Structure 1
Amino acid sequence: MSINGLFPIDKWNFSTQSILNNLPQEERAFLYANMTELPLKKGEVLFRQGTVPQGLYVVMQGKVKKYHMNGKGKEQIIYVANPGELLGYHAILSSERYPDSAAALEESIAGLIPKEDFLQVLDGSAKLSRMLLRSLSHEFTVLVNSISVFAQKSVRERLAIALIVLREKFKSGGEGLVEINVSRSDLANMVGSGTENVVRFLKEFKTAGILDTAGRKIIIRDVRQLIALSGYGSL
């Protein structure tokens, strides 16, 4: 079922999927001309926090997680990118090192557009500049919303929100049940809690008929109950 009108999913998703497709054909062709396809195994790192950016990444297949490592080596997943979404352009625009890392959540393919090609098109494209500015503004809203949730919501509520967001990421377009294929540790790193807490609440949700599990897969059966548990009304 659709959650439109029930949950503000746009507050949890970045808006980069349409940027390259909406460019004039000649600009898009120039960006893709020297793009390198990078096959990624599950867990393989695309770029690391603190390194110098080499270019703009486009998720072509699979799913890639953006995450930040704190001083104690604890991973916090910031976002999960689907095919068509862009990664790594913030560091290029700011002429700084990557503020976060990216790694494949599952077997994936990413395209690397050289930094020089991206900047050349950006210099001459008012449309690309406008779309990136709009995207950056929206991403700021998404991140502020995420920070607010971490400060105000319980682990149970944050897990419900994470499962709703992942359900949208893993939807195949049909109306059937959605299977989320993610490790418990990755889910815990999205929620910002220990894996044992996440496992405990998943069992609770399963007992309530909200979801089923099959190995690492989570099958969402009642998204309305998840939305109710998320405390969405007080977001």
Structure 2
Amino acid sequence: MEFENDCSKISTCFRYLNQQQLAFIDSKTTQLTYLRGENVFKQGAFAPYILYIIDGLVKTYLQIGNHKQLNISLGKTGDFLAFSTIFSENMYNYSAISLKDSTICMIDKEALKYLMLQNPDFAMHIASKNGRNEMQLLEIIKNISYKQMRGKLASSLLYLSSEEFHEHAIFQYLTRQDIADFASISTESTIKFIKEFEKEGILSLDGKNIIFNNKELLLEISKKG
């Protein structure tokens, strides 16, 4: 792959690298395409790479026991995956699956760490870009710990319908089970509350798609928990 023509031109972070640094990271990077439904990496597997999404949509989740999972976030074009492993774990601490055909850069994490030490501007911007992941994790913890089921679902729907995902028609790629796993509630409860929200005029349903008519009320439900 030609790194300069792909990753470096999509992410604002890479503009802080000079030509020599770009050539270095190019030599430490592999570009792969994952088909819809294909595992990108698995929780507990060896983690030699930080991943960067050139194009596509990826769901990240925690596997809890044999039969339960908790969806963490969606990764889209321009997002990094497994960035936290650069500082600590040698294993992926969550799993990722491609929701649609996705092109991804596999960047050697030791090479990326080296560049961050050599280039403080690059380090600052790449760390800042990944700060939102921590905020999403805090929101998940708050949802699980303090909110009732309607509040949990409202929070998850607000996240999934946020502006950053508008171009992806996100709900076409998510089952009701997926939505339930973002809210940490059962699929049955998810279907029930979505129908309640529809009756209350908060949203409309068009097949798998969910159209939001009153996000202010949804936000109020989320805040009240």
TM-score, normalised with respect to structure 1: 0.79
Distance 1:151 1:87, change over 3 A: same
Superposition deviation, residue 106 in structure 1? 2.6
Is 1:211 matched up with 2:203?
yes
**Structure 1 partner of 2:6:** none
Q: Does 1:117 align with 2:111?
A: yes
Structure 1 letter corresponding to 2:47 = P
- Tell me the equivalent position of 2:171: 180
Structure 1, unmatched stretches of 5+, are 1-16
**Does 2:149 correspond to 1:155?**
yes
Separation (CA, whole Å) in 1 of partners of 2:64 and 2:89: 22
The alpha-carbon distance between structure 1 residues 156 and 55, as it changes in their structure 2 partners (threshold 3 A), is same
| Match in the other structure for 2:165 | 170
- Structure 2 gaps, min length 5: 1-9
**Most deviating of 107-116 and 186-195:** 107-116
Mapped to 2, the partners of 1:106 and 1:89 lie a distance apart of 21
Following the alignment from structure 2 to structure 1, what is the Cα–Cα distance between the partners of residues 209 and 131? 34
What amino acid sits opposite 2:94 in the alignment?
A: D
Question: 1:1-235 counterparts in 2 under 5 A?
Answer: 20-26=13-19, 27-28=21-22, 30-32=24-26, 34-134=28-128, 139-168=133-162, 169-172=164-167, 180-181=171-172, 182-231=174-223
Identify, as 1 or 2, the structure richer in helix: 2
Against the structure 1 CA distance between its residues 46 and 74, is the aligned structure 2 distance closer, same or farther, given a 3 Å change threshold?
A: same
CA distance in 2, matches of 1:185, 1:91: 28
Aligned-pair identity in percent equals 26
**8 A Cα contact 1:48 1:102, kept in partner:** yes
1-side partners of 2:203 and 2:12: how far apart? 35
- In 2, Cα distance between equivalents of 1:211 and 1:107: 28
Offset, 1:71: 2.0
Change (3 A) 1:25 1:205: farther
Counterpart of 2:171, as a letter, is I
Aligned length: 213
Q: Secondary structure at the match of 2:205?
A: strand
